[in-house]
Structure 1
Amino acid sequence: MDDISDIHFGPLPPDSPYVKPFRFHYTQNGKAKSWDLLKVHDSVAIIIFNITRQRLVFVKQFRPAVYHGLVHAEAGDDGTKIDMKKYPPALAMTLELCAGIVDKPIPWVEIAREEVLEECGYNVPVDRMEEIMGFRSGVGTSGSLQKMFYVEVTDDDKVPSGGGGVDDEIIEVVEYSLEDARKLVQKGNMLNSPPGFLVGVLWFLANRAPGCKA
């Protein structure tokens, strides 16, 4: 997964299917203002709990944005000055919930079901997917909507050829015990994880973890 080389940066092409920058203009209290924004896809994220083995199911993957955040100060405008011995790509491996963008005209719960199958290899019907909440991510840049779902799976739901992503995605499926999940949200931790991941873990521990009081 971390066999990554030839890292460099470049300008964003105008035909990007994922990110479209623009400037937002408005007047507040009589003063003209503007804000630079990004139009991005909304998304789904899924908290997966394997009840057969009492494990939370997460994914790990290399995130270019996280890597750029680590190296941008000394990489140069084109990224050709990156010292990959000092900054190995493994530093930008993230721990996340199973998730995906909303890029099809179908119900969001169906997109969530597809992501569980494609990324983690569990084939479950939509009636087992429970919608938990929706919230805005990237409120300073995109304001995109993410809906969070919860699903309980068993070893019998596992598809032998499923998981790991589709096309050119490289995703590692990892499992955490309840004890290890609690350690993730302890005071002082520094994680390569998005806020939605932490929200999902905390929600599960408070509402669905075996032995919780909810």
Structure 2
Amino acid sequence: MDDVHSIKIEPLGESIYVKPFHMTYIQNGVKKFWDFNVVHDSVSVLLFNVSRKVFVFVRQFRPAVFFNSIPEKEKYLVEAMNTKLPLPPIEQGITLELCAGVVDKEKSLEEIAREEVLEECGYDVPVKHLEKILSYRDSIGIAGDKQTIFYAEITDDMRVSKGGGKPEEGELIEVVEMSETEVKKYLERDELFKQSQQIRCCL
């Protein structure tokens, strides 16, 4: 998980995940503009294993989080692209998250959430066990994508694999189990990532 090297940062070309746009408009007689990205909606699942009374999360390296922890990142990108400069510890780009995935299939949100739990955490959860907590618009200044969070209680009997995501799609995911006490202690940290804020809101 922590073995990340040969990092190369470059401008984004065509992407199936992020599409930038520039909007101009007139509001109350004032001409305005705004830059934003169109990204996929997503689902997240808060999992609680009732067999052993632990929450189940995932841990993975997030390049965007890592990049935004680089001091003077704009200077690094524009003036010193791909040169060897001191970088922050890789750990700064590794996040603890709810099991989640993008909505990129013609399926219900519940079905997509079920598939993500199976792929990432290894639990085969019936759709009827998924309880919707809420939906909201995320990154409202730059994206506005819709996020939907579910809750599911799982048992050890539902575990059919070790999870870890799809290696063929470049996923490298670690399954993490934490007691309620451990989660509360983790959430006392000053700096938390977006998904960690989701964890805080759900508990």
- Is 1:113 aligned to residue 117 of structure 2? no
SS of equivalent to 1:111? helix
Which residue of structure 1 lines up, in the alignment, with residue 175 of structure 2? 173
User: In percent, how many aligned pairs have the same letter?
Assistant: 46
Check conservation: 1:9, 1:80, Cα contact below 8 A: no
Taking the aligned partners of 2:190 and 2:72, their CA distance within structure 1 comes to 24
What SS does the corresponding residue of 1:141 show, helix, strand or coil? coil
CA drift at 1:98? 0.4
Match of 1:70 in 2: 69
The amino acid across from 1:123 in the alignment is: D
1:136 paired to 2:170:
no
Q: Measure how far apart 1:185 and its partner are.
A: 3.0
Tell me whether 1:123 sits opposite 2:147 in the alignment: no
The structural deviation recorded for 1:2 is: 1.4
- Corresponding residue number in structure 2 for 1:82: 85
Question: What secondary structure does 2:52 align onto?
Answer: coil
Distance 2:85 2:148 in 1: 36
Q: Distance in 1 between matches of 2:201 and 2:15?
A: 34
* Secondary structure of residue in 1 paired with 2:68: helix
Task: Quote the residue 2:187 is aligned against.
Answer: 185
Instruction: Identify the range of structure 1 (69-78 vs 121-130) with the bigger mean alpha-carbon deviation.
Output: 69-78
TM-score when normalising by structure 2: 0.91
Indicate the SS of the match to 1:70: coil
Shift of 1:91: 1.9
Partner Cα separation in structure 1 for residue 107 and residue 94 of structure 2: 30
**Residue 164 (str. 1) matches residue 167 (str. 2):** no
The gaps in structure 1 that reach 5 residues or longer are 205-214
Count residues in correspondence: 197
Describe the shift of the 1:199–1:76 C-alpha distance in structure 2 as closer, same or farther (beyond 3 A): closer
Alpha-carbon deviations, 1:69-89, whole Å to 9, x = none?
1115163422434314xx221
C-alpha root-mean-square deviation of aligned residues, in Å?
Answer: 1.5
Which residue does the alignment assign to 1:207? none
Deviations 1:166-207 (A, max 9, x none): 122001110111011112333x6212x21x442344323xxx
- Report the more deviating stretch, 71-80 or 27-36: 71-80
One-letter amino acid of the counterpart of residue 80, structure 1:
T
CA contact (8 A) 2:10 2:77 kept: no
Structure 2 equivalent of residue 11 of structure 1: 11
Supply the AA of the counterpart residue of 2:43: V
- Partner secondary structure for residue 2 of structure 1: coil
